[in-house]
Amino acid sequence: MRQDPDHETRDQLAGIITRAASGEEAALADLDDRFGARLAFGTAGLRGELGAGSNRMNRVLVTQAAAGFAAYLRERSGGATPTVVIGYDGRRNSRVFATDSAEIFAGAGLRAVLLPRLLPTPVLAFAVRHLGADAGVMVTASHNPPNDNGYKVYLGGADEGSQIVAPADAEIAASIQRIADAGSIAALPRSTSYEVAGEDVVDAYVAATAAVAPAPASASSMRWVYTAMHGVGWETFARIVTDAGYPRPAVVGEQLAPDATFRTVSFPNPEEPGAMDLAFARARRTNADFILANDPDADRLAVAIPDDSTPEGWRRLTGNEVGLLLGARAARAAAGTPGAALACSLVSSPGLGAIAAHHGLDFHETLTGFKWISRAPGIVFGFEEALGYLVNPETVRDKDGISAAVAILGLAAEARDRGASIADLLAELGDTYGHFSSGQVSIRVDDLSIIGRVMLALRTLPPVQIAGRPVASAEDLLHAAAGQPSGDVLRYRLDDGSRVIVRPSGTEPKLKVYIDAAGASADEARAAVAEIETGVRELLDERS
């Protein structure tokens, strides 16, 4: 409390301490939760709830993280002066955390470059490579609940602007712990001599992204809707839409400007039920052809199309459907290029492998997360089912919901040229590469130990059948063979060729189960997924 420069979290903590001193059990439990552990620095950096305590996101924790990261970069630099770029989104305290980091980096003798204003995560990922920086930090919690924030770290040089992976994560974490153990953050040197990047960095991102899919003349008649989900995507995306030559969308005005409270949604994630209801309503009023939605930091993209079979008259495409559309687009462009590859996470649709094989391209299946996907050799396109797509690897080595949106605009315009829709493009995918369908069972918990117990139960007593389909093979990727993805993942292959994968979420308190099936038709594949989903729910009930 003494070293915290934030009066809000100081006052918060003082109140808890006073109540705990009087013996209040809830306050004692609160203190234990806040200080019984330290918010772990891992391959996703830091992410957690805002508040006082070592197990929360606050100015003390962020300052320690910045100082530890600075020490790591200096040690890694071999005597040169490392350059770090810092970006931030519109969440609570994002600018404060970014400014603290810039001052700590500058005080440690690094060249620190703060982006000029709140901007999408892909702009920061772009800036790391564009400026030839040694590292980048993005202050964001992406699509997490409103009271969360996070600290995402990228490395330049040989890492080409990708997110950190092992062993860098453990080395950075150890460096941060040394700073925390050394004493008060008040003793850390700070400097305001950091740089503020010029608009030329944003201009360069806009130009590179507009070039992903310049609009054909026929695009002028497209009708579409866009929502920023209360995030930072619109200002940058609007410029790109104009520069690429596409018509302006009808926008969801209530969600267009950054709003740290995310007041119109219970959870600012386009995947969540209800999050796109305002977009659906806007699309109905404007008779739109499709909807595009970014998440709050604009590194993810959701696409929705008209569907009379739903109550809303609209259907959000799955991440796998969008990933296969964009993967086929990339494969057609890269066909015949030696070493060119498509990549996706092991929980994403196996249909991408079929597309790669059809076009004679390499295919790589990785662990979840773009820190792994972006490192696939020869990558020309990568995706994961959680609405993340890497369509422009020469400029951004991370998921980018804005460049993905431009690529979808290009596909929609090309389809319109021949009287087709995005729904028609999906049908053509099945006819060309085979019919794949996917589903997901996601269980959110308040007690993380529940997830551990379910995973242990599945390991101790593996299922022999799911939905009446015998399990042909069961793999525990904690013990994967050398050269294979390794992690806390259970993978079951069923005797009809279907696949079920179980893993804890890396960013949320969820247990996730991914289901994939193929069929002679789209309806057959969807029916298989629905049957397996019922079987998965029964299995989880038995094991929980």
Spatial CA neighbour of 438 closest among 447, 430, 449, 428? 430
One-letter identity of residue 133: A
C-alpha distance from residue 455 to each of 386, 445, 473, 477 (Å):
21, 14, 17, 12
Strand pairing class (162-163; 148-155): antiparallel
Query: Which of the residues 94, 101, 142, 374 is marked catalytic?
Result: 142
- H helical segments located in 255-340: 277-286, 319-334
Instruction: Note whether 391 and 326 are within 8 A (CB).
Output: yes
Q: Among all chains, which residue has been given the structure tokens 């891992």?
A: 42
Question: Helix count (H) and strand count (E) of the chain?
Answer: 16, 22
* Helix, strand or coil, per DSSP, at residue 270: coil
Instruction: Note whether 269 and 294 are within 8 A (CB).
Output: no
Q: Is 349 designated active site?
A: no
Residue 300 tokens, joined? 């993810």
| C-alpha span between 319 and 392 (Å, rounded) | 18
* Helix, strand or coil, per DSSP, at residue 93: coil
Q: Which residues contact 416 (CB under 8 A, 6 or more apart)?
A: 218, 219, 221, 222, 289
* Segment holding 430, helix H or strand E: helix 422-433
Return the HEC string of 129-192.
HHCCCCEEEEECCCCCCCCEEEEEEEECHHHCCEECCCCHHHHHHHHHHHHHHHCCHHHCCCCC
Q: 476: which strand partners?
A: 490
C-alpha distance from residue 262 to each of 257, 351, 381 (Å):
10, 35, 31
Q: How far is CA 169 from the centre of its chain?
A: 18
Torsions phi, psi for 385 (to 5 deg): -60, -20
Torsions phi, psi for 332 (to 5 deg): -60, -40
Q: Which residues contact 287 (CB under 8 A, 6 or more apart)?
A: 223
Residue 332 tokens, joined? 């057609």
Q: Which residues are catalytic?
A: 142
